[in-house]
Amino acid sequence: MNVFLPQPTLTDGELTVRPIRMRDAKQLERELMFNRGWLRQWEATLPGTFNHFDTKASIRSLLTYARSGGGLPMVLEVQGAVVGQLNVSGITQGSLSSASIGYWVAERFAGRG
């Protein structure tokens, strides 16, 4: 099913959750690299296989998936700075109506509610 879902921008206090854009690649990559040790415990990758992030390719893939109606890729911002990412994926409409949510946040912003 090719259903485009509008992507809202949500704000609560200092936090903004907005649709991801290609120009977010550099900031996302910087945060992923800086928070490598912090995020490692939650990564679903094979140990010892990390070499680099291809954030542009990842964003392109996420945007393609979003256009098909399967996902909502978002970034987390605090005061205009990208500090994490949130993805709604596996969106299924109809009688099942389900999805999965995954996110990561920079260590310095973790635990703020």
Residue 51 binned pLDDT confidence (cut-offs 50, 70, 90) = low
Convert the pLDDT of each residue in 18-27 to its tens digit.
999 999 999 9
CA distance 28 to 59: 10
E strands, the chain, are 10-12, 15-19, 71-78, 81-92, 98-105
User: What is the token pair recorded at 2?
Assistant: 């090719």
Q: What domains, with CATH codes, occur in the chain?
A: 10-109 (3.40.630.30)
Q: Tell me the pTM.
A: 0.83
pLDDT of amino acid 4: 55
CA 76 to chain centre: 8
- The mean pLDDT value for 86-96 works out to 91
More confident residue, 52 or 83: 83
pLDDT of amino acid 5: 56
More confident residue, 68 or 5: 68
User: What is the token pair recorded at 71?
Assistant: 């996902």
